[in-house]
Structure 1
Amino acid sequence: MGRNTRKRRTPLATKAIAASAALALGGGGLIWANFYASAHESDSAQNYTKAAGTQVATISCPDIGQKLTNVPDQARADVDGELANLDGQITEAYQRLATTRDAQARDASFVQNSILQPLKERRAVIIDRIKLEITRVGGTSPAGLETLAACTGSSAGQTNAGGGQNTGGNTASPAPSASASAGGGQNGGGQQANNGGQAGNGPAAADFVDITTVQANVAAKPRRTGSASTGSFTTRCGVNANKNHNTDNVIVAPGVTNGAHHLHDYVGNQKVNAFSSNDTFLQGGTSCQNKNDLSAYYWPVVRVQDGTQDFDQNADGGGKEGNVGRIAVPSQAQIKYVGSPTSKVVAMPQFLRIITGDAKAFVNGTANANAHWSCTGFENKVQLTDKYPICPRGSQVVRSFAFQSCWDGTNIDSANHRTHVAFADAGGNCQNGFKAIPQLTMRLVYNVPRPSIQNGVVKNAYAVDGFPEQLHKPITDHDDFIAVTTGGLANKIASCVNRGQRC
């Protein structure tokens, strides 16, 4: 694939941006701004108090991309580009909401007239284009897409997190929320007026919990049958100490610069960006010790918000979009393929794409969320989905991922990047004719300063990079993978797992 030659047809979206990996795709978004006045603003407290009840703190937009489950191959490139435009519109609207608090306080209709209505009109144009791209190549666009143009405003306490529909047909691997035992809900429990964070868009104090106060919540693994594949294959690919970063996402937004809106760490394949192709991957080289492993493993970086900045403080996807602070390099990055508790596995197909988790789970709800946060010494007892752990001294923060382990047997990707793979059911079985493949698992360990909560404010916060409107919520964590192997490695991995070996 060469450089992007897809021209945006109107100036409505001059900056195309799409979701990452992780990802709930195209057009879903939550926009949240502190609607109280800053100290330097000149309006009286009375005026702000009067207007606060009518001001919009959040804007939730329906996720168009998850509705597009059957896009013809000939239309996918153009549709992906238009979904990127939808994300760009949401980000621009968020920035406008966050920088017009004076106007919002003076005029109760400002958000509706100056942000929501123009956003609806711009989204309608893009939705019409998407329908046209699908139908012009003989496809059928989903009914009712045009009804998804409007975005709704609500108070800061109203979000979709914790609800949402399962739009991809998958059920995330179990990781019970710690909200009940952590005290306070997803949205901050009374801290809504201050989104927190070094850039003012999170995380907030309510996003953290002392892990020693959370009750054990890790469920037992499914019982193994006689047909289980009990082996494992570990590949050692480093921790991205060479700082291979970019803000693209070639799975969701091919050909779109800054398609992820946030920075990724890359290990494995070293030539991954928005313009990479399957041929590029085969020539990309690898950071893995096994040189036949050219797979791309990439995830959003974790940053420590201690008042410092990093190299991208003035860049798109970095400081310009609220991703600020010092980038933390993992102390460990363990990548392992494991088997199925109920069957043998088949080899992963070449160039299989898998996204696990949802970069927009704070808006879309938990249907596709797959975040796992814990601390060393607690991983077998406590896994958190919507909280960052505060670990005891001597313990380190752990992010872990268990990817979808069932494949439809035919496709290496799907229009919404989800329906070609699935999680096994509670008993460990693949459903709907899907086949078990080696399950990719990843464990990232970070030695970050211990956060503390003082007067409702978090000090030394750490947070995963994300879309600016997602407020760096822990539930938005996600991970991306493209299978690329040579020398028969895919078959070797499957064989090792099926024979019960440790390779």
Structure 2
Amino acid sequence: MGRNTRKRRTPLATKVIAGAAALAIGGGGLVWANFYASAHEKNGGHNATKSGQARVATINCPDVGQKLTKVPRKARWGVARELARLDRQITEAYSRLAETRQAQAGDAGYVDNAILGPLKDKRRATLDRININIKRAGGQERDLGRFARCQGVPAEQPGGGMNGGGQDGGNQDGGGQGNEQPPADNGNGAAGPFAEDFVDINDVQPNSRDLQNGLAANGDTGSTGSFTTKCGVNENNLFNSDNIIVAPGVDNGAHHTHDYVGNQSNTAFASDDDLNNAQTTCQNQGDKSTYYWPVLRLQDGTQEFDANDLGGGAEGNVGKILKAQQAEIKFVGNRTSDVVAMPKFIRIITGDAKAFTNGLANANTSFSCTGFEDRQVTDKYVICPEGSQVVRTSNFQSCWDGQNIDSANHRDHVAFVQPDGSCPQGFQAIPQLQVRLVYDVPAPTVENGQVKNPYAVDGFPEQLHKPITDHNDFINVMDEDLMNQVVQCINSGQDCE
């Protein structure tokens, strides 16, 4: 039920290069391709050597979606479709890179003239259409043309130096391999995760989580209660690669596969009425909210149902999908005040699926192990000891601007609490959603700088399956009576279910 099998493309793992098509939500992204010469090429040793050493390139495009902070509500649907068009243009540019490596070897200006130039022209036309959508809806024209140009950036390895504008992405070279061999790709054609992306939980210091944004909003004062909703662990096998929040009306808008619990009509084409009239997996039938997150996969060679689909193997997301053994969904309060009811249909995204290239500003999830949950890391997958399970935690923004259920970049209408627990000026406290997912994951092993039996969250290929890109999504579709019950429980200090 609900499995997405309608979008197919040749999987990256079967491409003629060890590279990955990269495309990003919001029309921005980093496209990279490793043009390693095949050992079976008939072009002679000279070309093979040159290809192995020089045929690595990136295309770094501005993330237009995050830059559009003011878009009239009536224009957002059209703008989302144009942003998706920008994504497809990046994909086409990658394909051009992959198919023309011999031409590039013989012409130093080939990438600029045959790939980047046409890409810029296409992007400019699309950005013009975005402006037209905004103006027709009464918005102010913006100088979007400055985002048309993408940069070609040669790189010896995927990773280091490729994380968008010089933001710190750490050492991403997969254990210091040289150019002679492509990095291990774990069967996904899109290298990663690497050994350096894993850490033994025993080596994590307690209370050392490096990002503070998502820490629990409540404490011993203020509104101290909680409300837990039980919605299962996707027993209905509802998977798709849509994203109703970021890309409404766009097929495969997420470019990676999601798990869904709660609302059962969650596709890119669902209206608020569709969500309101949907079935729900939540025990309390008044909760038709949609809770969704990228699937966790074991990269073990399993051919999943989406092995040939967009969002799955066709975009580098391969291996066995691991369902959570537990999905704990809880709403808590605020340390300094009571909370007010969330508006129905409010959309909240926490974390950033593109944090590897965008930087850490919106990164917000953590990995841990059962029995060690005082040790949380955002930039590593954890290796748990025998008998311990992997835990993914997401603590959402819990301050609301009091007016909007969404914003143009899907972030500005909500905020995290300040260091003292209060909301920023102009915002009011709402129940904080906390999602805790527990998985049985065979422990990876790291030998000689290589990871064996890795697991990873689904993501865009250019993000190299980095743990920092984990994220979580929510649309509130509780009925009024239930939301009022949630608020009453939290403000009165009760723990309710």
Q: Secondary structure at the match of 2:437?
A: strand
Q: Secondary structure at the match of 2:34?
A: coil
- Aligned Cα RMSD in Å? 2.5
CA distance in 2, matches of 1:152, 1:274: 31
Offset, 1:186: 4.3
CA distance in 1, matches of 2:200, 2:434: 25
- Aligned partner of 1:4 in structure 2 is none
CA distance in 2, matches of 1:35, 1:498: 59
- Aligned partner of 2:492 in structure 1 is 499
Q: Secondary structure at the match of 1:153?
A: strand
Q: Does 1:418 align with 2:411?
A: yes
Offset, 1:25: 4.1
Offset, 1:223: 10
- Aligned partner of 2:147 in structure 1 is 148
Q: Deviations over 1:23-79 (max 9, x none)?
A: 984112111222332333344554354456654432221110111111112211111
CA distance in 2, matches of 1:101, 1:203: 26
Q: Deviations over 1:159-192 (max 9, x none)?
A: 236965xxxxxxxxxxxx9x9xxxx724535247
CA distance in 2, matches of 1:368, 1:324: 26
Tell whether the 8 Å contact from 1:451 to 1:461 is kept in structure 2 after alignment. yes
Offset, 1:153: 2.2
- 1:319/1:24 CA distance change after superposition, 3 Å: closer
State the one-letter code of the partner of 1:232.
S
Tell whether the 8 Å contact from 2:37 to 2:52 is kept in structure 1 after alignment. no
Give the count of matched residue pairs.
Answer: 462
Deviates more, 1:265-274 or 1:222-231: 222-231
Tell whether the 8 Å contact from 1:322 to 1:468 is kept in structure 2 after alignment. yes
State the one-letter code of the partner of 1:281.
L
The alignment's TM-score, normalised by the length of structure 2, stands at: 0.87
Alignment map for 1:1-80 (pairs within 5 Å): 25-44=25-44, 46-50=46-50, 54-80=54-80
Q: Does 1:336 align with 2:330?
A: yes
Offset, 1:87: 1.4
Q: What is the aligned-residue identity percentage?
A: 61
Tell whether the 8 Å contact from 1:222 to 1:341 is kept in structure 2 after alignment. no
- 1:402/1:225 CA distance change after superposition, 3 Å: closer
Q: Does 1:200 align with 2:189?
A: yes
Q: Does 1:211 align with 2:197?
A: no
Tell whether the 8 Å contact from 2:368 to 2:391 is kept in structure 1 after alignment. yes
CA distance in 2, matches of 1:50, 1:70: 47
The counterpart of 1:477, out of the listed 448, 470, 473, is 470
State the one-letter code of the partner of 2:66.
Q
State the one-letter code of the partner of 2:361.
A
The counterpart of 1:159, out of the listed 140, 157, 162, is 162
CA distance in 1, matches of 2:243, 2:320: 22
Q: Secondary structure at the match of 1:83?
A: helix
CA distance in 2, matches of 1:45, 1:215: 50
State the one-letter code of the partner of 1:71.
V
CA distance in 2, matches of 1:161, 1:452: 30
State the one-letter code of the partner of 1:273.
T
Q: Secondary structure at the match of 1:90?
A: helix
Tell whether the 8 Å contact from 2:367 to 2:391 is kept in structure 1 after alignment. yes
- 1:44/1:444 CA distance change after superposition, 3 Å: farther
Offset, 1:242: 1.7
The counterpart of 2:351, out of the listed 332, 335, 357, is 357
Alignment map for 1:97-496 (pairs within 5 Å): 97-98=97-98, 100-143=100-143, 145-154=144-153, 155=155, 156=157, 157-160=160-163, 185-191=171-177, 193-194=182-183, 196-201=185-190, 202-216=192-206, 217-218=208-209, 228-381=222-375, 383-486=376-479, 488-496=481-489
State the one-letter code of the partner of 1:316.
L
- Aligned partner of 1:3 in structure 2 is none
- 1:60/1:407 CA distance change after superposition, 3 Å: same
CA distance in 2, matches of 1:138, 1:321: 37
Unaligned runs of 5+ in 2: 1-22
Q: Deviations over 1:433-453 (max 9, x none)?
A: 100100000011111221122
State the one-letter code of the partner of 1:57.
A
Tell whether the 8 Å contact from 1:255 to 1:275 is kept in structure 2 after alignment. yes
CA distance in 2, matches of 1:436, 1:55: 52
CA distance in 1, matches of 2:415, 2:145: 29
The alignment's TM-score, normalised by the length of structure 1, stands at: 0.86
